[in-house]
Amino acid sequence: MAEEFAAVDVIIAKRDGHALSDAQIDWVVDAYTKGVVADEQMSALAMAILLRGMAPGEIARWTAAMIASGERLDLSAITRPTTDKHSTGGVGDKITLPLTPLVAACGAAVPQLSGRGLGHTGGTLDKLESIPGWRATLSNDEFKRQLQEVGAVICAAGEGLAPADRKLYALRDVTGTVEAIPLIASSIMSKKIAEGTGALVLDVKVGSGAFMKDLATAQELARTMVELGKASGVRTVALLTDMSTPLGLAVGNAVEVEESLAVLQGGGPADVVELTLALAREMLDAAGLTGADPAKALESGAAMDSWRAMIRAQGGDPGAALPQARHAETVTASEDGVVAAIDAYDIGVAAWRLGAGRARKEDPVSFGAGVLLKVRPGDRVSRGQAVLELRTDDESRFAGARDLAEGAIRIAPAAPAPTPLLLDRIA
């Protein structure tokens, strides 16, 4: 270990609004990873960072220290250009599923290291594990081989990648420090830079169903991450996208896989298709594949072929039936009018209460549980018309989800002004 410090002195320095030195940052991240700095001390430092913030130089050094806590994958042997996408998380956000094979079908290699859901936001790995046989854990050699041969990998990050982040991520979740922009930015970017991708497109969500509730805060986070990526030699761009309404019509695990398959078959909800194509174009452009047309790859079936190859490579059966929930209940409109809003956060929590998500990282999820939307904002409805379908394996869960789901649908006399899906682009 390099120069030694007392953890309390580092905490006090940040508590009092001082910038931490490079040596202090290197030491505290390394010492925390090794267990020298205790959880309660890092909790105090995380809260000080939340309240006092960090200068760009501090965030860059913190990110570098997180990367240095573990291994960094070398993807230089991959013959295709590498490009990846990261979403800050939302409700109904299944975009990684159709996007990864689509971009691979256009000639890139997509090393997509994904996570599990916690709270109201869904996890890509949970969705894919609803496919019989599919496995999330790959060795580094398996990861690189599939990336070279198939061009598309979606799997869990290995234990050796940014272990400091794994410890700190779990701590932030239970200490009220998830929203600290320096810690969000360094968490995301340390993993993506360590992953070894050459280009990265960030999908920064804004709205009730996102961690960033307002555009200004989301723009600050996006700018911070784009600068971190560029400083590490990764071509990085961010799209800010609306998460006030759930993406698509399905929220859950298997139900989101079904919707993703509809997109890969050339159909699917318009907003899911729009965002998938927008992100695909950005990823291909960042990878230097400017001549590729992702819309054609969807239409031709090439993206679906890529999906099947990706699922098979990880032990899954792309033709197998997906799990179905044992029980379903319909929610109807309380009055005549126009759907003015569908609150993403409330729908996400309703799906979680039905069993689609988890309260603790070790909890199991119900693959068939979730919420299916029957309407979108702007649709005219009549009293008694079906607006949602709730699905669960445990009927006792309906009670906790029903009120939230009913309250998520807001009906008004007139149609609201449409909200664009793409709010900003930062590069």
Q: What is the pLDDT of residue 348?
A: 95
Cβ count near 338 (within 10 Å): 17
Residue type, 74: D
Nearest of 23, 22, 24 to residue 10 by alpha carbon: 24
Asked whether 427 and 229 are in contact (CB, 8 A), the reply is: no
What does each C-alpha distance from 367 to 21, 35, 160 come to in angstroms?
46, 36, 28
Q: What pLDDT, on the 0 to 100 scale, is given for residue 131?
A: 98
Residue 182 one-letter amino acid: P
Q: CB of 269 within 8 A of CB of 421? A: no
pLDDT of the chain, 427 residues: tens digit per residue: 457 899 999 999 999 999 999 999 999 999 999 999 999 999 999 999 999 999 999 999 999 999 999 999 999 999 999 999 999 989 999 999 999 999 999 999 999 998 887 677 778 999 999 999 999 999 999 999 999 999 999 999 888 899 999 899 888 878 989 889 999 999 999 999 999 999 999 999 999 999 899 999 999 999 999 999 999 999 999 999 999 999 999 999 999 999 999 999 999 999 999 999 999 999 999 999 999 999 999 999 999 999 999 999 999 999 999 999 999 999 999 999 999 999 999 999 999 999 998 877 677 899 999 999 999 999 999 999 999 999 999 999 999 999 999 999 999 999 888 889 999 999 9
What's the rounded Cα separation, in Å, for the pair 262 and 98?
9
**Cβ partners under 8 Å of residue 21, min gap 6:** none
Q: Are 232 and 191 contacting, i.e. CB atoms less than 8 angstroms apart?
A: no
- Could you give all domains of the chain from N- to C-terminal order, each with its CATH number? 7-53 (1.20.970.10), 84-313 (3.40.1030.10), 327-412 (3.90.1170.30)
The alpha-carbon radius of gyration of the chain (Å, integer) is 22
Question: Residue 266 corresponds to which tokens in the numbers above?
Answer: 């050339």
> Which residues are annotated as catalytic?
86, 165, 172, 187, 191
pTM over 0.75: yes
Three-state secondary-structure class, residue 115: coil
